[in-house]
Structure formats: structure tokens, C-alpha cells
Amino acid sequence: MTESLQDIARRLVAPGKGILAADESSSTIKKRFDSIGLESTADNRRDYREMLFSAETAMREHISGVILFDETIRQSARDGRPLVQLIQANNSIPGIKVDMGAKPLALYPGETITEGLDGLRERLVEYHKLGARFAKWRAVITIGAGLPTPGAISANAHALARYAALCQENGIVPIVEPEVLMDNPNATHTIETCQKVTEATLASVFEELERARVDLTGMILKPNMVVPGKDSGQNASTTEVAERTVAAFHATVPTSVPGIAFLSGGQSDVLATEHLSRINQIPDRPWAITFSYGRALQAAALKAWGGKRENIAAGQAAFLHRSRMNGLAALGQWTPELEREIA
Ligand code: 5MM
């Protein structure tokens, strides 16, 4: 029986579970591998992802879905089983990044537009055959002098909406990711500015989604948290981040959206967990709120693995620990004591 968009979306944000963003494009995974002195070859990329997807307890208990890159959805494990099957065997859902990256937006210096709509319908049909049941498209909004402009926000919101409509037409749940950056060069903006820009961005995204006739009950929102820019020198408390983030959602996100799964955006892994847990303690949250982390789920595992076969168990243990901590955070139950004890 074909699973409905609503059922898939609900499974992605099931209590205590969240999404592993393992969709680093070739240039990003190269940067990650550079940090451990490992060459970025197709085999090394496969070995790394196989290590993560076969971490049975982490995957079964805490990872509801995995976002893959085009290369990965076509790769097989060392024993010949497709990586997609490894994910499914652990009761997790394979997903796929379908955007082609953020490119300079013509006549808007310093701003980008995410490309990838041409031929998307045909690619979605193929990805569905390969096992993907959800997809992801990331739009990037930069805060700076005079930025973002309303033009860049609405162009990106429009592209997100066209992508989401195409996904739903093809039985795929769209993850809609409008990321207001916190770690761009010279990110001196305050948390107040981040909240204002996040609200303006989300408002525009939902306006476009509704205009495109996207069924909000069959999608997941993947936003940034409301935090100060990394060069702002401002220290926001966990409670302030949580309150401002949830306030931004109340102002803009319809309650028919079943789930919100955050990106980590350059926060340290433990801080991303702490913030998520605090957010899940704020009363009056009509949406399931969880994680869809890339760096914050993988950084420790990548380091422990270090590209060596003999370290696979250590890499998986590090991945299990972060998955557990984020699973607890998705329930609002993470504590610094548990972070230390279980480690
Ligand atoms: C894993 O990183 C994803 C792919 O980025 P590139 O296309 O730039 O290589 C990225 O979209 C990711 O899914 C989100 O930004 C969340 O990751 P973080 O690391 O911010 O949690």
C-alpha cells in the first residue's frame, strides 16, 4: 500500500526521533574529509556513510530518515547491498537532496537563489523508484548591510514552493529549508535581527506555499533557530533562543504543518542539542519539533572514525551518543548530566 504524504511526514517527526542530514555535496564533504586528512574519493564517501547508516541502535531508535546526496542514493555497501536498503532495514526513511545549490542571484549583489527546478519532475520520478520518500531543498538567506532584500526572499520562497508542489505531485514529502545564515563572513547581526529576518522569510515562504497549492499537512519545515550571528559578540541564553524561535513560528507557521526539524547551522553539537531540548519545553507548541542536523550529528563521529576501518565502532559509538542526546532533546528531556553520564 502506498503510504500517504501525511503518514510519511508524521513518521519523520515521530517522538524521540529526527533526521540525519547526510546530503553534503561533493565540495562540502571534501571540506569535512580535509579536517581528518582523508581524500574525498567515492569509496571513502561510501565507507563513511555506510558506517553511519549501519549503526543499528542509533538508526533504529533515533533516526527517522536520512537525507542523501545523488551519488549516495546510487551507492552500495561493501557487501553489495544498496545503502538505501541499509537505511530501510533500520526502519528509517531514505530522502534525497534535490536542489542544485545556491547561485548568485542576478542583480542582487551578495544574495543567492537556489537552482534545480529544471527537470525536477523527472528526477523526482527516478528518486521515488530508487526508494526516496522525502526530499530536501535549501534556500539561503544572508543578513548583512542592507541584506536580505525583499526581492531575494521572495525569489527563494517562490522556488521552494515550486519544488514542494512538484514533490507532492510525485508522492514525495518536501522538506522546505529556508536557512537564515548565522555563520556567513562578518555575521555581526543581533538575535533581534535574526528573529525579524526569520519571521519575514517564513512569512514569505508560507505565502508562496499556499499560492502554489502545497498541502501543508504533507510537508516538513526545516528552519534555523533564532540565534545571534557568530561575530556579533552577543551572548543569548538558551531560554532566549528558545522563546524567540518559538515566537517566530507562532507568528508565521500555520498549525496544519505537522513538523519542524531544525538545521544546526554551525552551532556546536552540544549547543544545538541544548537549544532543541529547551525549545521542546516551551508550552503551546502545535507542531512536533525535532532535529535534521548535519554537522551537529556527524562532527564527533567523523572525528572518531578518522577514515580508518579499525575505528568504525568508535565512529558508530559517537554517532549513537549524539543521536541519543538529540532524541532526548526532541522530547525536551536532555540534561547536561545525561550528556556526561551516557558519554
Ligand atoms: C549536510 O549539509 C547539507 C548540504 O549542504 P551543501 O549542499 O552545502 O553541501 C545542508 O543542506 C544541510 O542539510 C543543512 O544545512 C543542515 O545541516 P547543518 O550542518 O546546518 O545541521
Cα 1 to ligand 1 centre (Å): 32
Give, using CA atoms, the residue closest to atom 14 of ligand 1: 263
How many CB atoms lie under 10 A from the CB of residue 169? 11
Give, using CA atoms, the residue closest to atom 16 of ligand 1: 263
Burial 182-191 (b: 16+ CB within 10 A, else e): bebeebebeb
Encode pLDDT of 31-62 as tens digits. 999 999 999 999 999 999 999 999 999 999 99
Give mean pLDDT, residues 108-129: 98
Encode pLDDT of 64-80 as tens digits. 999 999 999 999 999 99
Q: Is the CB of 293 under 6 A from ligand 1?
A: yes
CA–CA gap between residue 44 and residue 21 (Å, rounded):
18
Decide: 45 and 318 in contact? Cβ < 8 Å: no
Q: Is the CB of 249 under 6 A from ligand 1?
A: no
Q: What is the ipTM of this complex?
A: 0.92
Q: Is the peptide bond before 148 cis (omega within 30 degrees of 0)?
A: yes
Give mean pLDDT, residues 103-123: 98
The mean of the pLDDT values for the chain is 98
Give mean pLDDT, residues 170-179: 98
> How confident is the model at residue 185, as a pLDDT?
95
Matching residue, cell 541499509: 86
Decide: 162 and 113 in contact? Cβ < 8 Å: no
Cα 179 to ligand 1 centre (Å): 10
> How confident is the model at residue 1, as a pLDDT?
73
Cα 294 to ligand 1 centre (Å): 6
**pLDDT tier for residue 2 given thresholds of 50, 70 and 90:** confident
- Which of 12, 23, 26, 27 to probe ligand 1 with, by most ligand atoms within 8 A of CB? 23
- Which of 263, 273, 291, 302 to probe ligand 1 with, by most ligand atoms within 8 A of CB? 263
Q: Select which of 177, 199, 208, 274 is catalytic.
A: 177
> How confident is the model at residue 125, as a pLDDT?
98
* 274 tagged catalytic: no
Q: Is the CB of 65 under 6 A from ligand 1?
A: no
* 308 tagged catalytic: no
Q: Is the CB of 296 under 6 A from ligand 1?
A: yes
Domain positions in the chain are: 5-342
- Which of 28, 69, 100 to probe ligand 1 with, by most ligand atoms within 8 A of CB? 28
Cα 104 to ligand 1 centre (Å): 18
Give mean pLDDT, residues 153-171: 99
**pLDDT tier for residue 229 given thresholds of 50, 70 and 90:** very high
CA–CA gap between residue 116 and residue 76 (Å, rounded):
26
> How confident is the model at residue 342, as a pLDDT?
64
Q: Which atom of ligand 1 is nearest to the CA of 28?
A: 9
Of residues 343 and 13, more confidently modeled: 13
How is domain 5-342 classified at the CATH fold level? Answer: TIM Barrel (3.20.20)
Q: Is the pLDDT of residue 343 over 90?
A: no
> How confident is the model at residue 24, as a pLDDT?
98
Give mean pLDDT, residues 197-224: 99
DSSP letter string, 111-135 = -EEE---TTHHHHHHHHHHTT--EE
**pLDDT tier for residue 310 given thresholds of 50, 70 and 90:** very high
User: 173-180 and 220-221 as β-strands: parallel, antiparallel, unpaired?
Assistant: parallel
Q: Is the CB of 263 under 6 A from ligand 1?
A: yes
Give, using CA atoms, the residue closest to atom 7 of ligand 1: 25
Encode pLDDT of 240-285 as tens digits. 999 999 999 999 999 999 999 999 999 999 999 999 999 999 999 9
Decide: 273 and 245 in contact? Cβ < 8 Å: no
